[in-house]
């Protein structure tokens, strides 16, 4: 049983301290001449890897640059990309949303990382191997859950899709192997809802986005924001229309637009505030020890590059390129988004694009990310 009185007391948040809020004030005017060459690199990928993008760069507690590039969609007469464009974050939802929510619950003693998932979600019991899966396994993508099925093709409602996950087979022993799976974070989102007694979107709004001043971050954006939302893909398979203002990810769409793995929309301006939370040790919202618990590379599975929710660069490289710090916090989103937080340099890079417009077949984003992050990190280092 959840002690509701204890929960309410535990979740009472004081306003964030000025040191966390100050670096993001006046961000729209931020400009630093040292990034001219890096911006040339980004411009070189416009029309190749994405129609347009917005980049935010932070250093030593200040916003050094906030810049937009290209156009909102692939047509040559499309409007210029605005700096306050609201992007479909895709899998950045996993860290911006669900991991943040898990940290809040852990910080207040309401979430045990090594407790079995079935203790929080009894409906998940019954399938062989499920009883051995812990919260830590979900957050480190080592649960062993695996299927080749596309869940959205076999479900027509949120309830039906969740039921498929509840019966998903375990392909290998939990904790023994890394396998990135959306289902892990879908389940994590369900645990957040179970513990908090609130829908995931409402919990994040009240306890993360409002305290952080992330005014343009949320699920299922209202229609009035549509002019600021770049379209994603021309979907000729599932929805048979241009996807704009609703989540691109098919599973998240079936789940009603609110899910632990995808569905968040946000701006570079807002994500800079989240990056500062990690660079300032969670001061004002999370205890430093809680931040450390989620941002330390895990010991298992052997050789993993994962922290909890977050990824880190590994020996084989990452989207952040060869100049990335080994303990940087990183994550990408399928739609062309990424977040890089460098604690050694006290810096961050937010790169938001709609690279799937008009089609996901364009794979240029993979080379573009490496080139862009290498150029920006070189500029930060003065090289």
Q: Is 113 within a domain?
A: no
Q: Is 59 within a domain?
A: yes
Mean pLDDT (whole number) for 153-177: 97
Which one-letter DSSP state was computed for residue 372? H
Q: Is 52 within a domain?
A: yes
**Distance from C-alpha of 117 to C-alpha of 187, rounded to nearest angstrom:** 8
14 falls in which pLDDT band (50, 70, 90)? Answer: very low
Q: Is 28 within a domain?
A: yes
Residue 166, pLDDT score: 98
What's the pTM value of the predicted model, to 2 decimals?
0.92
Q: List beta partners, residue 87.
A: 266
Give me the chain's average pLDDT, please. 92
DSSP string, 277-337: HHHTTTTTTS-HHHHHHHSSPPS-STT--B-SS-B---TT--TT-TT--TT-EEEEETTTE
Q: Is the pLDDT of residue 1 over 50?
A: no
Q: Residue 18 is part of which domain span?
A: 4-91+200-380
320 falls in which pLDDT band (50, 70, 90)? Answer: very high
Report cis status (omega within 30 of 0) of the bond before 301. yes
Compute CA distances 107 → 18, 103, 180, 259, 262, whole Å.
Answer: 21, 6, 25, 22, 23
Q: Is 349 within a domain?
A: yes
Compute CA distances 289 → 73, 325, 348, whole Å.
Answer: 42, 21, 21
Residue 31, pLDDT score: 65
Which residues touch 341 (CB under 8 Å, ≥6 apart)? Answer: 275, 278, 279, 328, 329, 330, 348
Q: Which CATH number is 334's domain given?
A: 3.40.710.10
283 falls in which pLDDT band (50, 70, 90)? Answer: confident
33 falls in which pLDDT band (50, 70, 90)? Answer: confident
Which one-letter DSSP state was computed for residue 8? H
Which residues touch 44 (CB under 8 Å, ≥6 apart)? Answer: none
Q: Is 130 within a domain?
A: no
Q: Can you give the C-alpha Rg of the chain in angstroms?
A: 20
pLDDT tens track for 328-338: 999 999 999 99
317 falls in which pLDDT band (50, 70, 90)? Answer: confident
Q: Is 173 within a domain?
A: no
Q: Is 143 within a domain?
A: no
pLDDT tens track for 69-83: 999 999 999 999 999
Structural domain count, the chain = 1
């Amino acid at each position: 049983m959840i002690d509701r009185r204890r929960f309410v007391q535990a979740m009472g948040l004081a306003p964030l301290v000025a040191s966390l809020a100050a670096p993001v004030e006046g961000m729209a005017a931020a400009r630093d001449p040292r990034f001219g060459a890096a911006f040339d690199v980004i411009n070189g990928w416009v029309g190749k890897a994405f129609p347009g993008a917005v980049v935010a760069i932070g250093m030593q507690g200040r916003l050094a640059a906030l810049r937009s590039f290209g156009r909102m969609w692939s047509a040559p007469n499309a409007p210029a990309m605005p700096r306050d464009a609201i992007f479909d974050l895709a899998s950045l939802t996993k860290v911006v949303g669900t991991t943040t929510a898990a940290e809040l619950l852990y910080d207040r003693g309401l979430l045990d990382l090594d407790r079995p998932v079935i203790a929080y979600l009894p409906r998940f019991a019954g399938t062989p191997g499920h009883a051995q899966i812990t919260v830590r396994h979900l957050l480190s993508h080592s649960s062993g859950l695996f299927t080749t099925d596309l869940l959205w093709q076999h479900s027509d409602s949120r309830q039906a899709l969740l039921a498929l996950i509840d019966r998903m087979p375990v392909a290998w022993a939990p904790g023994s192997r890394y396998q990135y799976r959306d289902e892990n974070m879908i389940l994590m989102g369900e645990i957040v809802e179970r513990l908090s007694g609130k829908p995931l979107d409402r919990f994040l709004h009240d306890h993360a986005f409002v305290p952080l001043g992330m005014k343009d971050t949320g699920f299922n954006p209202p229609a009035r924001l549509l002019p600021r939302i770049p379209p994603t893909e021309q979907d000729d398979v599932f929805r048979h229309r241009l996807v704009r203002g609703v989540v691109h990810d098919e599973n998240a769409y079936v789940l009603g637009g609110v899910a632990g793995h995808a569905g968040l929309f946000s701006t570079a301006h807002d994500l800079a505030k989240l990056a500062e939370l990690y660079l300032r040790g969670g001061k004002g919202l999370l205890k430093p020890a809680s931040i450390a618990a989620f941002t330390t590379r895990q010991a298992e599975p052997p050789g993993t590059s994962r922290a909890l929710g977050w990824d880190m660069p590994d020996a084989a490289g990452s989207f952040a390129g060869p100049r990335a710090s080994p303990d940087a916090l990183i994550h990408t989103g399928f739609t062309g988004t990424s977040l890089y937080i460098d604690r050694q340099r006290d810096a961050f890079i937010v790169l938001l694009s709609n690279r799937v417009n008009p089609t996901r077949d364009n794979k240029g984003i993979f080379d573009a990310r490496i080139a862009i992050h290498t150029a920006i990190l070189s500029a930060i280092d003065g090289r």
